[in-house]
């Protein structure tokens, strides 16, 4: 009899593609090529910069979906939840690369501003409060939200499990997610509007970054995982409407893409529309079989596989985007480009170089820091997931199984 350790685990390309899209959106947002010297291409570059911030919301939905599914899988298999083990395994995944980044930035801050001020500047990152107190690397705000989520979700599920499996399969989780969604929206609506100022971090720490205003995106992903894993018959019916899901998702994203990303509507209802839209797109993707039909052939295309390859390293790319991409380009490539390049070449050169350097940095840090840490984790705290189920094992359906999504290694690679 073949053990689960003898069965090769494969990644789910649909989710890697979405992660690739998410990290590219983030890079577009932080690109040093916010404009180009071409009147024809400038609107495209401006749009990429304008809409790129939503890549974090896509990461949030993906994280809620996969982490939620991982916990539901453990509960189903063991009728209990080992929170300590979950947090330790998460820590091995998230903290080594993150703490190294904090150390590097901390040394930079101490070198520039002195020990006391430098330590004070980096302290919020050590406490995972940078989304409220600010950080020299502002983009790490999303990691603080994720850390808070990693604590909140298992504790919530422990409370639910006090009622046993019937409570888990009941309406408690959908109701709770609905309460979180309404509460976050109400708090966003009640947060006093302040003028946006690019040079002032106050707007970010009061409107864009706080966990209590943004965690609904992650819990919506949990709801999708709950339906997908605990009530697959319901999700199968929804997932078969792939075309409609994609249209609804794009329709929900369109107003946010067209509006000022610092405007009142986007700060409130827009955040809700983003996670609903990206959730629909997520479902449309995971219920599309690669190679089957037009959409399946697109997923199986060379371009999509390239996106998926980028998505594999999205976490370390996100972490090290400043050190490998933004800072070197601003100091070296940008001055040269301003003197030697004109028209569309200016923007394409800078953006392409930033993507390339960020990708190289992400690959290097994944192989040097992340992979050894995960290998050590799996020796000390082996995974308990079962092997992926085959398509034929799910009621003669060609749709992906919950096991296939929640037991592959991707579950450990979320932002």
User: pLDDT, tens digit, for every residue of 331-359?
Assistant: 999 999 988 888 788 889 999 999 999 99
**Nearest CA to 275 among 62, 52, 36, 15?**
62
89 burial level (CB within 10 Å; 0-12, 13-18, 19+): buried
In a domain, 220, yes or no: yes
In a domain, 1, yes or no: no
pLDDT of residue 112 exceeding 50: yes
pLDDT in tens, 242-290: 999 999 999 999 999 999 888 889 999 999 999 999 999 999 999 999 9
In a domain, 4, yes or no: no
pLDDT in tens, 295-337: 899 999 999 999 999 999 999 999 999 999 999 999 999 999 9
Residue 293's region, left for phi above 0, alpha for psi from -120 to 50, else beta, is left
DSSP 8-state assignment for residue 322: I
Q: What are phi and psi of 278, to 5 degrees?
A: -70, -30
Instruction: Give me 156's structure tokens.
Output: 């919530």
In a domain, 3, yes or no: no
DSSP 8-state assignment for residue 4: G
pLDDT in tens, 191-243: 987 776 665 667 788 889 999 999 999 999 999 999 999 999 999 999 999 99
- What gap in Å lies between CA 150 and CA 155, rounded to an integer? 9
In a domain, 131, yes or no: yes
In a domain, 161, yes or no: yes
Cβ partners under 8 Å of residue 140, min gap 6: 98, 101, 125, 130, 319
In a domain, 2, yes or no: no
In a domain, 179, yes or no: yes
3-state SS class at 343: strand
Which of the four pLDDT bands, split at 50, 70 and 90, describes residue 8?
very low
pLDDT, position 384: 67
State the total domains in the chain: 1
Which range marks the domain in which residue 285 is found?
Answer: 9-412
Helix H or strand E segment including 175: helix 172-190
Give the pLDDT mean for 93-97.
96
- What gap in Å lies between CA 61 and CA 12, rounded to an integer? 16
**Nearest CA to 370 among 139, 92, 102?**
92
């Amino acid at each position: 009899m073949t053990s689960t350790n003898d069965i090769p685990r494969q990644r789910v390309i649909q989710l890697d593609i979405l992660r690739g899209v998410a990290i590219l959106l983030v890079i577009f947002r932080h690109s040093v090529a916010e404009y180009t010297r071409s009147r024809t291409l400038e609107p495209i570059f401006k749009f990429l910069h304008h809409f790129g911030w939503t890549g974090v919301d896509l990461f949030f939905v993906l994280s809620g979906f996969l982490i939620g599914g991982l916990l539901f899988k453990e509960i189903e298999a063991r009728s209990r939840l080992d929170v300590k083990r979950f947090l330790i395994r998460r820590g091995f995944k998230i903290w080594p690369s993150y703490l190294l980044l904090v150390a590097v930035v901390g040394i930079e801050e101490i070198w520039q501003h002195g020990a006391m001020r430098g330590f004070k500047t980096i302290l919020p990152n050590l406490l995972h409060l940078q989304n409220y107190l600010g950080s020299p690397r502002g983009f790490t705000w999303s990691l603080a939200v994720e850390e808070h989520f990693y604590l909140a979700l298992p504790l919530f599920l422990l409370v639910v499990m006090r009622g046993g499996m019937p409570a888990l399969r009941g309406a408690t989780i959908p109701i709770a997610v609905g309460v979180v969604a309404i509460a976050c929206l109400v708090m966003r609506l009640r947060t006093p509007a302040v003028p946006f100022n690019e040079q002032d971090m106050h707007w970010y720490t009061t409107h864009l970054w706080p966990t209590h205003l943004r965690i609904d995106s992650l819990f919506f992903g949990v709801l999708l995982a709950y339906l997908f894993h605990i009530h697959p018959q319901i999700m199968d019916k929804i997932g078969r409407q792939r075309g409609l899901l994609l249209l609804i998702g794009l329709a929900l994203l369109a107003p946010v893409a067209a509006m000022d990303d610092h405007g009142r509507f986007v700060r409130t209802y827009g955040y809700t529309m983003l996670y609903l839209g990206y959730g629909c797109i997520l479902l449309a993707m995971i219920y599309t079989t690669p190679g089957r039909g037009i959409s399946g052939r697109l997923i199986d295309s060379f371009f999509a596989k390239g996106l998926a390859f980028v998505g594999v390293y999205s976490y370390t790319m996100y972490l090290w985007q400043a050190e490998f991409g933004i800072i070197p380009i601003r100091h070296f490539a940008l001055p040269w480009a301003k003197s030697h390049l004109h028209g569309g070449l200016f923007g394409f050169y800078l953006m392409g170089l930033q993507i390339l350097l960020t990708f190289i940095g992400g690959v290097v840090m994944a192989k040097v820091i992340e992979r050894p840490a995960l290998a050590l984790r799996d020796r000390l705290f082996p995974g308990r997931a079962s092997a992926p189920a085959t398509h034929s094992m799910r009621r003669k359906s060609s749709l992906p199984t919950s096991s296939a999504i929640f037991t592959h290694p991707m579950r450990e690679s979320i932002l």
